[in-house]
């Protein structure tokens, strides 16, 4: 996916900085007054979860062919692990085909394995995906929060 870097997308196509950020894409404004076009240079190099999943930064607590997992920087429970597909998918609602649906299944299998490894499988754990801003999504690479190790209230805030 990182080969997407450098692609020009004309502003006419309806993209702006925030719509691109929601795809996990870097926005760099490009303007050519002579030819009277405007555009954006975009790439996935800046997706923090892609970098973590590739092992370029941070530390993984689980990894397989399709999935990577790491501790949340701002843990909300004694166990708070983020589980991500290695493939860059910006949000859960972008999962529309069987291939990506299978990858989401791999993420859930990883959640079960990690919960067992962390000793929270019996007492109970929660898997949460925030999809889009209204639900609290703040990083535009789909991620499943695995939470446990304390009593979890319901409904969530
Ligand atoms: P969400 O608000 O559902 O998009 O969740 C994003 C989560 O990513 C938050 O819980 C953040 O604490 C966490 N987070 C952001 N950046 C990092 C990072 N570099 N390493 C680990 N967790 C992160």
pLDDT tens digits, one per residue of 47-87: 999 999 999 999 999 999 999 999 999 999 999 999 999 99
Catalytic residue list: 143
Q: Looking at the predicted structure, is the pLDDT value of residue 31 above 60?
A: no
Do the domain assignments include residue 23?
Answer: yes
SS3 of 99, please? Answer: helix
The model's pTM is 0.81
Neighbour-count burial of 32, counting CB atoms closer than 10 A to its CB (0-12 exposed, 13-18 middle, 19+ buried): exposed
* DSSP 3-state percent helix, strand, coil across the chain (nearest 5): 25, 25, 50
Residues 127 and 67 in one domain: yes
Ligand 1 site-directed mutation target among 21, 22, 58, 73, most atoms within 8 Å of CB:
73
Cβ within 8 Å of residue 84, ≥6 positions away: 49, 52, 53, 67, 68, 69, 107, 141, 142, 143, 144
Nearest CA-CA partner of 65 in 23, 25, 13, 102: 102
Mean pLDDT of 29-48: 60
Residues 54, 84, single domain; the answer is yes
Domain that holds residue 8: 2-42
- CATH number at 63 reads 3.30.428.10
Q: Is residue 153, in this structure, part of any structural domain at all?
A: no
Distance 141 CA to ligand 1 centre (A): 10
Judgement on whether residues 73 and 94 belong to the same structural domain of the protein: yes
Judgement on whether residues 66 and 139 belong to the same structural domain of the protein: yes
- What are the CA-CA distances from residue 81 to residues 3, 28, 77, 84, 126 (Å)? 29, 32, 9, 10, 11
Mean pLDDT of 143-157: 95
According to DSSP, the residues that pair with 145 across neighbouring strands are: 82, 128
Residue 143 neighbours by CB under 8 Å, 6+ apart: 49, 82, 83, 84, 129
Q: Per-residue pLDDT tens for 104-131?
A: 999 999 999 999 999 999 999 999 999 9
CA of 77 from ligand 1 middle (Å) equals: 13
131 and 72 in a common domain:
yes
Q: Do 83 and 117 contact (CB within 8 A), yes or no?
A: no
Whether 79 and 140 map to the same domain: the answer is yes
């Amino acid at each position: 996916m990182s080969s997407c870097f450098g692609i020009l997308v004309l502003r006419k196509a309806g993209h702006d900085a925030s719509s691109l950020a929601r795809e996990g894409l870097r926005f760099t404004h490009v303007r050519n007054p002579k030819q009277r076009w405007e555009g954006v240079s975009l790439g996935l190099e800046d997706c923090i979860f892609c970098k973590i999943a590739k092992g370029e930064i941070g530390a993984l607590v689980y990894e397989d062919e399709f999935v990577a997992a790491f501790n949340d920087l701002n843990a909300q429970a004694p166990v708070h692990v983020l589980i991500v597909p290695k493939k860059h998918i910006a949000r859960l609602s972008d999962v529309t085909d069987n291939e990506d649906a299978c990858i989401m299944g791999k993420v859930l299998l990883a959640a079960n394995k990690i919960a067992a490894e962390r000793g929270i499988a019996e007492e109970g754990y929660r898997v949460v995906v925030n999809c889009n801003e209204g639900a609290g999504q703040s990083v535009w690479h789909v991620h499943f929060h695995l939470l446990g190790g304390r009593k979890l209230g319901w409904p969530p805030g």
